[in-house]
Structure 1
Amino acid sequence: MIESAVGALVKDGCKDHCGSVSIPYPFGIGENCYMNKWFEVSCNETSTAPTTFLTSIEVEVLEISLADSQVHVKSPMMSVNYSGRTAGKVVKLAGSPFMFSEATTTFIAAGCNNSAVKSQIEPLIDACESTCKNKSSDPEWYCTAERCYESMIPSPLQVFNATFDREDSKECKLAFQADVEWNYSSDNNITDPNWQFKVYVPLVLDWGITMEETNGLYLNYDSPIWSVGGFSSPNFGFLNDFVKLRGCYDGYEGNPYLPYGCQDIDECKDPKHKPCGHLICENKPGTYVCKGNKAWPILLGISVGFGVVCLLTGTWWMYKILKKRKKMKLRKQFFKQNGGLLLQQQLSSTKKNIERTKVFSIKELEKATDNFNRDRILGQGGQGTVYKGMLVDGRIVAVKKSKVLDKKNVKEFINEVVLLMQINHRNIVKLLGCCLEIEVPMLVYEFIPNGTLFQYIQDQNEDIPLTWERRLQIAAEVASALSYLHSEASIPIYHRDVKSSNILLDEKYRAKVSDFGTSRLIAIDKTHLTTNVKGTFGYLDPEYFWSNQFTEKSDVYSFGVVLVELLTGEKAISLVGAEEEEARGLASHFILSMEEDNLFNILDPQLRESSAHGEITKVAKLAYRCLSLSGKQRPKMIEVAVELEQIRLLQNNSNSQQNHEETGYVKNEVTNQWDSASRGALSLDMEPLFSSEPWGSLEMQQSSNTI
């Protein structure tokens, strides 16, 4: 046996290259230069560029890698109906130490309406189908227009064959296995006109040697310096076990398949390396060490530098800790100052279940709103700003950041927040909690996504039309919410700013009563609560100006204006005149139209075409009563809610034809009422709100909604 030189890749006297391809042992050119017949390589030097072949399996070699135990070869491309191209051949590796690389092999089918089946003779392995989109006039070019591929193959695989479904089709088809890196490289450009003329693609084969062939290799080393991996394929008739040598360890070089093949690298003799600089370099097996008298200044410098870094790092961390403690101390101070302890006591002692209510930390809300980013602003007003945020549990919320809080009223503020947290109605925006760790407390509400009723009326959406049924539903839901606040809350609550822009719409376009402009409540005679706002022009109760007293009937008047908005589609206040300098109130215009028997001429055009004239007339009559100049003549909110619910229940059975006589009745009725109002009192000589049978209590369903 010819011995190899230390660190060589081939045996002595053997060729180590064929053209540009390196031929390391166990591969070899010529007798006694390869390990066994499977690794015999032939070199054809008669062509312009020398070509390398693995004689045993009849494939052309592109590259041999000792480190990965892989050989890169040319993979044939199988085809059907392709002029100028051979059909390809079946690749058979059975019985050899070679197999298709599981990690780097992909199966590709190309062409129009091509369905290729990959198999190992038996059984079927996989299938791949490509389809057509825009067929080219050139059928051969279209071979590359569409393709599909599978990135994994079963292991082990030693035989590759591809068969085509629909071979009777005249369209060209291709199928082949390829290196997955080539599949994603720039060489694989299916838009290149020359791509379809390729006769091969690169393919990677794994290879190994038997355990018997490793005998003697280990005996030449004091310790193993290569790693060993094995593979076998008993299911496909390949019964021998093989191992893959992973090349030499770091710090060694050579060929692990040759005796004394892996030798230590002397890094100290490498003039380009100079691993130790000006210090003394001492070579060790697989590595090296630096030593000498000149090492201590470097060590000293490293130590000093490390100490400085530690000092600076420690100082920075101390500053951060002190700053954090100061911030935490200030937050605790604000928490106590804003009544946090009282709120905790109230929450723990209340008998009512306050579902999912929470005292938020400022850190939670900063994270939820991206540090109160301006892009998160939902709205701004004189009292504060509302931000959209997302809590850690995924809930979307609206965070109200107020500007001012009267510190003298902290106790009242906390008591009122506790009261609001207990309000639980499906048509009232839910107060989820508050934050007291900053100078001015913040309130956290549920987020309602579909804007306001005002926007919905003024900018009607063709995809979600504002039908009469939806208008009646919204009116009934708002009335139910206000009735709950007036009658069902532990302390009656007057909203005082009922308007279409304070009515929000959720994802199903259900009404949610809200008032983000209100940050605190004030007590009046300790019998009810009312929001501390002035109201909005166009919705304010006229009686409020005469008496300066806000009552529950004031909310009824404002709700009446909202009803008229739903009926007419007009704004509460609009500009009229040649130059639009004169303001006209919707309420007075509606009353005048009722007097003149002109109801259906001022309705929203969509409602004029509706068949629900009876229901529309009833709601118009109800709106008129809500707009009575005398609060005593207006119905209570609970009566309004019940009557609207009755209209909804009878809606499906109502007569779709408009009763003209009923309209005339409305005219006479409202005319008589308006005449009485001009004399100082409105008449209640109208049909009763309730039948002799009691309607029953309103259903208050548990939900996550409050104001």
Structure 2
Amino acid sequence: MIEVRSIHVDDATMSVTIPYSFDCYHKNGSLARRLDVGVELRSHFTFSNSENKLLAFGCDTQVFMNATEYRFGSGCISLCGENLNMSTETSCSGFGCCQTSVPKHLKNLSIVMGSINKHIDVNSFNPCGYAFLVDQRSFDISKMRLDFLPEQVENSSVLLDWVVGKQTCEEAKLNTSSYVCGDNSDCHYLENGGGYGCRCLEGYKGNPYLKNGCLDINECLEPEKYKCSRCQNTMGGYKCKCPLGMHGDGKNGNCRGFSFTTIATVIGASIFLVIIALLLFYDYNRRKREKIFKQNGGLVLKHQRVRIFSKAELAKATNNYSQSNFIGQGGFASVYKGVVLNETSTTATTTQQIAVKKPKLDKDDQNKSILMNHQQFHEEIAIVSQVNHKNVVKLLGLCLETKIPLLVYELVPNGTLSQHIHTKRSSSSSAMLRPWKTRLRIATETAQAIDYLHSLAHPPIIHRDIKSTNILLDENYTAKVSDFGASVLIPPGQTGIATTVQGTLGYLDPEYLTTGTLTTKSDVYSFGVVLVELITGEKPISNGVRIKAKSNNIIQYFVSTIRENKSERYVEKIVDPDVIYDEDHEKEIEIVAELAMKCLEGHSERRPSMKEVVEELVELNKVKGNNKAQQNEEETYQLLIVDHD
């Protein structure tokens, strides 16, 4: 399995991790070895010939790579006579380390290594040799030592080139239905990948695979880079005027002249500007507040059916965002609980619990953080402002007085579904989820919320980060879907969106991960993982799986167990030991397990829609006597919890 570290749309590359090869010798024979590492890529991926190198590291080490597809072979030998100090090295210079280039068009690669003298001459300090395929930009030889053992060595980062189509640019543009480059972008042919990719035009940046993904760069915000003091931004470029009193082309530094007429003009303009500045000074504070309010979309947002909070009001409600009120955090924001007074026309004073989503700013690059959080804020507002469903966390209001606006949600007091599933058995809160009927109900409520996003919201919404930590439970243990920070709106007439891969490892749709195309079926896959979590009580990826699986991936174990035991009872092999169920429930668990299998299909077209998932779960909840049985089970466990406390 190849681990993906990062994907870059700007230069059509992907950083992945592949294992290294090694052999270790001892005076009495071999200690350990992994001599042969083979990697084969899919058709749209190719090893980068410009950035990758094959390295041999050691004092008696030879490495050879070959690719049968191109009848290619190459290698090198690394020798040294003493324990060199590699911490001062910045490159693989030949002593204790050798390297060779990787050819173009390489899609499969076999790496074989060995030792000429089995490290006999240098065994006292160097019993091992290593072979790496590395991205030379990220590999740091100074962190290696010639006396390292295998457990002290990390796998290497390798760069892959990728293409979105195997045609030339001319061929791709002829087929408008499959051509994927968006506005303000252009096609470029990648010789190493044997296909085409997309790049934003000069003067634009962003994701060229989205229709409106390439946005204009405002060069005027970076005067030092573009060396223009009087800048006027244009779409895809900028104009640079000469300083007052001069003429010519300011962009090329070709400004000339300065006359007495110009001096008089400058003096007159300066006096005028001083007068204007004095007038503006008295109005500064009011204008500053209005500017921030407008920048945050206040003119539009104040007409939404949400409450506008002041900065001071939320600081007081959260005790100035004290650590004792901290609930959790995500990639862009931290969440704090608080209490505010209800807006009411009566004389009675009531309070309401809230959750304040406060954006995080990167201290090293606050301008970039503000820009990213502004975009994140407006995307989330566009989504949550139109959502109204009992199983979706409700937006109560906004604060528009800060550089990045604050979002105020209803407080859902009983934590996340993940906390309840994975807490210890003795916990009173986790005991509420022991009845099977409770877990079935929570699964149904979650599915109904996702189906609402897909089918009833206008435009439809893809959540993109469905997981048990984003499913909250209220005081009645009713499920509420939260965190729309990664969500996207589906444009009219489209079923999928080409976008940067984002989500949580273990819940990510494998088809979305490999193609970059996000669809509603991506949410279906993630929900399938949540169903497995509810049935098994295990995290998708865990180092401590209670069920004795062959790997720490519970999804692989779940799928293989059901397939291998199709003709016999398998519920007891997969169900969470904490779950309370009887023989009548076994058939329901089997139906939900089969439904999870459908949701986890590798090809999205084979998965059911969320509407079909909801129909099947609702039908299970309608079975005669279920509602009464569920109520009795939950009341029994509430009594047990009280008695236990």
The TM tier, using the shorter chain, reads 0.3 to 0.5
Give the structure with higher Rg (CA): 1
